[in-house]
Amino acid sequence: MAAGLCRVSLLRLSRTFSPGANPALSIQTWRCASTRASYGQTLLNVPETKVTTLDNGFRVASEDSGLPTCTVGLWIDAGSRYENQRNNGTAHFLEHMAFKGTKNRSQMDLELEVENMGAHLNAYTSREQTVYYAKSFSSDLGKAVDVLSDIIQNSTLGEAEIERERGVILREMQEVETNLQEVVFDHLHATAYQGTALGRTILGPTENIKSINRQDLVDYISTHYKGPRIVLAAAGGVNHDELVKLADKYFGQLSMSYEGQAPPVLPPCRYTGSEIRVRDDKMPFAHIAIAVEGVGWSHPDTIPLMVANTLIGSWDRSYGGGNNLSSKLAQAASEGNVCHSFQSFNTCYTDTGLWGIYFVCDGMTIEDMTFHVQNEWMRLCTSVTEGEVQRAKSTLTVMLLFMSGCACAPV
């Protein structure tokens, strides 16, 4: 048997070192072919997701990949969708107040502690969630969880800091008005979900920001920052049992009851097909978003819509390519010179979503680009090829693997 294996090995080497071949290149090619991980092998490297629920409904989720670093964060069901017309903007305001000091740490102490760990602390607000997260060494996981716990449970919410952040948010709102893509998507939500919570902006109206006070912030925390509505999630060099112990230590006392009221629930959002145009002839280009009703994250059509989104793709005039572009819409946009750029999108929420395309074009080519978009959508329904679908699935798979950090993981 050993002799047989030797003959096979010599045969492979003789083929690799063929006459006239570059030996160094042949060895490199042979090594790459023998060590390249298949898609199935790569998926085997994805660590198991472990989930534990504490007695108060607080959930803990982790994936241990054995790395020397980790990311840990708190995902709270408290975004603009849980707000009403009067307090719209409160969740985002709280995000700004997160790092301004707690009962246990001043703002300076908080910043020094994070810097001494070499960690990165940040937060963001979406329409359905508020997120506070930290990136640190795995050995500092306990310190990171301690800081996150202190931020959401013991923020001082000082009057001076509130007034200072009020000015910061108002300036941020002015900056957002200059970002036409954000403006368009805010209009898209307001039109698609008019009269419902998803139609409101994350930042809120100016009059709300000017009137929000400390009691509004305290009330929002006491209403929404409850155990069953928070998930502590971590990935990297994280031991799940250790994370559960930290969660029980720092969050086990969080209340799960609501005094005198039922727990807040997501109000149903009615999708309304309609149109809004904001005309400004001083602008050099038109920024346009066209969308149809999508699905929520847990819907079985989520993955097919992600594949369709990837198939349409994105394009910018600086890419070049012309007839060699894989996207049919990109070919039409390039050859016909009907837009400067476009990108498809698939925005998912808990129970609904928006699937569509955003593009920038000259005012005189809006109708032409809209025709090509509708034509491409019709082609998806009637004549897309199996090869195109397979290519989109492969592209989406690679994108998801890179996002999860396992595409380059050793086998």
Catalytic sites, residue numbers:
95
Residue of 209, 227, 304 lying closest to 58 (CA atoms): 227
Cα(191)–Cα(177) distance, rounded to whole angstroms? 18
3 state SS of 348: strand
Which spans in 36-70 are helix H?
39-44
First to last CA, the chain: 28
Tokens of 236: 């990297």
Q: CB within 8 A of 191, min separation 6: which ones? A: 199, 272, 274, 275, 276
Buried b or exposed e, range 363-376, using 16+ CB within 10 angstroms: eebeebbbebbeeb
Tell me how crowded residue 124 is: count the other CB atoms within 10 A of its CB: 13
Residue of 89, 62, 64 lying closest to 75 (CA atoms): 62
Q: Edge to edge, what strands does the sheet with 286-293 contain? A: 286-293, 353-361, 341-348, 314-316
CA quadruple 350, 352, 354, 355: dihedral, nearest 10: 100
Which spans in 19-89 are helix H?
23-35, 39-44
Which residue is it, tokens 């969050």? Answer: 251
Q: What are phi and psi for residue 42, nearest 5 degrees?
A: -65, -40
How much is the CA Rg of the chain, to the nearest whole Å? 26
Q: How many helices (H) and strands (E) does the chain have?
A: 15, 10
Cα(383)–Cα(398) distance, rounded to whole angstroms? 25
